[in-house]
Structure 1
Amino acid sequence: MAKSQFLLLHSAIIAQMLLLVISIFCLYEEADAQTGACYGTLGNNLPTAKEVIALCNKNNIKRIRLYNPNPSVLQALKGQRNISVIVGVANEDIIAIAKDLAIAKSWVQNNVLKYGNVNFRYIAVGNEISPLENGGSSIAPSVAPAMQNIYDAITASGLGKKVKVSTALSMGILGNSYPPSSGVFKSEIRSSFIDPIVKFLAKTRSPFLVNVYPYFAYISNPNDIHLDYALFTSRSTVVRDGQYQYQNLFDAMVDAVHAALEKVGGANVEVVVSETGWPSAGGTASTIDNAKSYNSNLIKNVQKGTPRKPGKPIEAYIFDLIDENQKSPEFEKHWGVFLPNNQPKYPLKF
């Protein structure tokens, strides 16, 4: 082989190796950053916002979800570009925002633009609103129009390509979720509620945010749903659904949402799990060991996608960052990964 050919071949091999290393590094970085945490503030013994953000940095928590634009938390997040943020529009503000673009622009100015060096990722317009639950019938018709107005306000500010707009919904909007391929939205809320939301998300390339809780599915039906299936610890396939096989309930629930989206024109809409977790006390199967098992296995599991979307990591947010002692009933107070004194309940590597 001529020296020039050898050098060309040698250079090509080195270039391929570098590309492979870069690809692996990028995949690792992407997977490493998938799991975040929800930062609830319904407690009278919580650490300061600055302490909580320091706790996130110390524990490699790179994504957090806020349920409202809490000024002290947003102030503490200033300059923390390594932490991306979901910020929520409070349910009670949605009707006014839907009616008036000027109010939407004011909300964006006061809660996003004012904190220009906060790394906003999504704006969640409301949490778990449904026309069928919790008095949501009065707010539900305003969700899609409010999303559009917030989007228009964000776009006018120049952040339209950086900050996505969505709403966080519960699994209660599904009319069927078993088997996962039969996942479908409730017919009575399709045309008036779900369809406009999915159409907006598809048009703006924004994610579908959904709160996914295997814990509640398990405690509502412990005879048919085994604990190991809910905790990601089953060693074999539990549910066979055509070509798809499921070893854990989380994947089955997420894929039920994927299937439902496909049936309403949302096949290309990404699913982001905006809440999931397991309580450590106060209720059925709510132990520290179970909470540790669920959350640690969740972090590993989301990196490989679901049977329906293999190889596509799922962005997910663990509920909750810190125990909130002003919630009820009792088990609602014990979802935190950390205690109010900043100490971890159990080892968990984000």
Structure 2
Amino acid sequence: MPHPNSPSSSKIHLHHLHPMASPPFTPSHHLLLPYFSTLPTFLLLILPTLIQIQGVNGGSIGVNYGTVADNLPPPSKVAAFLLDNTIIDRVRLFDADPDILRAFAHTGISVSITIPNDQIPRLVKPNFAEEWIKFNIQPYIPATNIIRVLVGNEVLSTANKLLIANLVPAMQSLHTALVEASLDRRIQISTPHSLGILSNSTPPSTGRFRQGYDTHVIKPMLSFLRETNSPLMVNPYPFFACTAENLDYALFRPNPGVFDSDLGILYTNMLDAQLDAVYSAMKSMNFEDLDIVIAETGWPSKGDPSQVGVGPKEAAYYNGNLMRHVVSGKGTPLMPNRTFETYIFALFNENLKPGPVGERNFGLFEPDLTPVYEIGILRPTAQSATPRAHQGPVEGPISTPRSPSRSTVSESKRWCVPKTEASVEALQRNIDYVCGLGLDCGPIQENGPCYAPNTVRGHAAYVMNAYFQATEGKEFDCDFDQTGALTTVDPSYGKCRYW
């Protein structure tokens, strides 16, 4: 979806785990009892049986942060909200707004910047590319975790010959500028595409790139992506291809499916079919080894009366099932056992966007940060404090086993999570202390099921609960110098299970 503002894997930047480290602080009297009274004998008994979480590395859930509105909260408030109250661990911006880049400093949230289409011809010039990196990237790193620069958005769909001819040279020029600045290992260059780059997509096994673009633009671009270890980014939108007849297929709800007779595969949801069509097109040009990132996908909660399947319930069905599906590790029929880095469109309802009603209502949140509907994207402590705007439960099963959502409530089970007001420094001390005791902190290390979101708060929640469950499970075992709180809402998500 073109946005009016526009036409290497993440590392731990906030902290490092030291599993055998000594306690980095002296616990107060609130902590002395739970930490030391029972641990010498108790931990020796339970350490061999502490939870061992195995599984695929969960795909990361991001969001497109658009700003075509006059009622949005300041960037600093948005960054704090995403960090403290949601499981979102990455954002895509449609420009290089310095206020937003500064707001995400020291959060650990991965940031992708989009360069507007109209700047593409200028970026071909090495001097301009170097200046762009100098003024839009270097002042903000490493404090802000910038992971990608995206050159335009859906450029091939513009049919603008000047932009299309300069797309790959601009990407190459920017990469050279990153090399000169010694940032090429940290920041990738890519560009998102609509599915209009395909000449055929049904059945998925026959997916091919459009003739003319395939050899002159797409093949050189795929070669560049392979050489720079960058992903192909696409914007699949089942919403725009849905009808009254295939609505359940688009929403991941139970449906008869669509059969690909060429391969004998039954597709049970439209997103898989769209992704596999892209994969088939890549494979036809011998580039099936490239990763695919979903740069945009979403569903509006309001629309024009003539639109099919538009409402908060349908939006919750799609985005909720989307989240579970892309992190499940099942992948697609042609790309099994994969997860997909995915960016939901969009963070906010944007009241100044032109076009039909739906264009202004793709947001997960209202400008006051209340959810438009609930899909399990809020952390438990945020759920209890945030009023509900619309009810849109995710009821429909998907083609993968369901993972526990963050909204599961237990009448007897309790989990220990950080208090909202707890400082990052205090939570880091909790991480260092618990891991230093010898409890298994592997799940929050890179490639672990609880690594994402890669934030101190997210990692502290896991280890604080691991300690609480490993001890006697009394209220004081969750004190952590007054930074912990008990909840009856299961914090588990995706492959990350809180025991």
The bucket for the TM-score relative to the shorter chain is 0.7 to 0.9
Matched, 1:21 2:32: no
Match of 1:333 in 2: 360
Q: Is the 8 A contact 2:204 2:260 kept in 1?
A: no
Matched, 1:112 2:143: no
Q: Secondary structure at the match of 2:113?
A: strand
Match of 2:188 in 1: 164
User: What is the rounded CA distance, in whole Å, between the counterparts of 2:256 and 2:191 in structure 1?
Assistant: 35
Q: TM-score, normalising length from structure 2?
A: 0.62
Matched, 1:80 2:101: no
Out of 195, 203, 225, the residue aligned to residue 201 of structure 1 is: 225
Matched, 1:347 2:374: yes
Residues 146-197 of structure 1: per-residue CA shift (max 9 Å, x gap):
1001111112222212211111111011000000010000012122221111
Match of 1:305 in 2: 331
User: What is the rounded CA distance, in whole Å, between the counterparts of 2:129 and 2:88 in structure 1?
Assistant: 30
Match of 1:239 in 2: 259
Pick 1 or 2: higher relative contact order, CA cutoff 8 A, min separation 6: 2
Aligned residues: 323
Match of 1:4 in 2: none
User: What is the rounded CA distance, in whole Å, between the counterparts of 2:48 and 2:274 in structure 1?
Assistant: 39
Structure 1 residue 128: Cα displacement: 0.6
Amino acid at match of 2:295: S
Q: Secondary structure at the match of 2:150?
A: strand
Distance 1:253 1:113, change over 3 A: same
Answer with 1 or 2: which has the greater Rg.
2
Residues 73-93 of structure 1: per-residue CA shift (max 9 Å, x gap):
101011111x11111111111
User: What is the rounded CA distance, in whole Å, between the counterparts of 2:173 and 2:192 in structure 1?
Assistant: 17
Deviates more, 1:238-247 or 1:195-204: 238-247
User: What is the rounded CA distance, in whole Å, between the counterparts of 1:160 and 1:270 in structure 2?
Assistant: 18
Out of 219, 234, 249, the residue aligned to residue 229 of structure 1 is: 249
User: What is the rounded CA distance, in whole Å, between the counterparts of 2:137 and 2:72 in structure 1?
Assistant: 24
Mapping of residues 241-256 of structure 1, within 5 Å? 241=261, 242-256=263-277
Match of 2:86 in 1: 59
Out of 123, 137, 154, the residue aligned to residue 97 of structure 1 is: 123
User: What is the rounded CA distance, in whole Å, between the counterparts of 2:148 and 2:75 in structure 1?
Assistant: 20
User: What is the rounded CA distance, in whole Å, between the counterparts of 1:22 and 1:328 in structure 2?
Assistant: 47
Distance 1:325 1:305, change over 3 A: same
Residues 201-231 of structure 1: per-residue CA shift (max 9 Å, x gap):
112121001111000011xxx26x5111000
User: What is the rounded CA distance, in whole Å, between the counterparts of 1:195 and 1:202 in structure 2?
Assistant: 11
Distance 1:72 1:134, change over 3 A: same
User: What is the rounded CA distance, in whole Å, between the counterparts of 2:53 and 2:135 in structure 1?
Assistant: 40
Residues 288-346 of structure 1: per-residue CA shift (max 9 Å, x gap):
00000000000011122111111110111000000111112221000000001110011
User: What is the rounded CA distance, in whole Å, between the counterparts of 1:260 and 1:291 in structure 2?
Assistant: 29
Structure 1 residue 17: Cα displacement: 8.4
Amino acid at match of 1:80: T
Match of 2:384 in 1: none
Distance 1:254 1:37, change over 3 A: same
Residues 99-155 of structure 1: per-residue CA shift (max 9 Å, x gap):
x1111111111111110111112111110101xx43522201111001001111112
Distance 1:136 1:349, change over 3 A: farther
Match of 1:3 in 2: none
Residues 14-72 of structure 1: per-residue CA shift (max 9 Å, x gap):
99989x93644xx4xx31x5211100111111111111112211112101111111111
User: What is the rounded CA distance, in whole Å, between the counterparts of 2:344 and 2:301 in structure 1?
Assistant: 13
Q: Is the 8 A contact 2:249 2:257 kept in 1?
A: no
Matched, 1:186 2:210: yes
Amino acid at match of 1:183: G
Q: Is the 8 A contact 1:129 1:140 kept in 2?
A: yes
Out of 129, 141, 144, the residue aligned to residue 168 of structure 2 is: 144
Q: Secondary structure at the match of 2:152?
A: strand
Q: Secondary structure at the match of 1:139?
A: helix
Structure 1 residue 198: Cα displacement: 0.9
Q: Secondary structure at the match of 1:312?
A: coil
Q: Secondary structure at the match of 2:146?
A: strand
Residues 223-277 of structure 1: per-residue CA shift (max 9 Å, x gap):
6x51110001125543334143311000100110011111123111111010000
Unaligned runs of 5+ in 1: 1-13
Amino acid at match of 2:77: E
User: What is the rounded CA distance, in whole Å, between the counterparts of 2:338 and 2:264 in structure 1?
Assistant: 18
User: What is the rounded CA distance, in whole Å, between the counterparts of 2:219 and 2:233 in structure 1?
Assistant: 15
Out of 66, 70, 75, the residue aligned to residue 44 of structure 1 is: 70
Match of 1:264 in 2: 285
Amino acid at match of 1:114: P
Distance 1:258 1:60, change over 3 A: same
Deviates more, 1:287-296 or 1:100-109: 100-109
Q: Secondary structure at the match of 1:323?
A: coil
User: What is the rounded CA distance, in whole Å, between the counterparts of 1:50 and 1:136 in structure 2?
Assistant: 36
Q: Secondary structure at the match of 1:275?
A: strand
Amino acid at match of 1:21: Q
Q: Secondary structure at the match of 1:127?
A: coil
Distance 1:16 1:156, change over 3 A: farther
User: Identity rate of aligned residues, in percent?
Assistant: 35
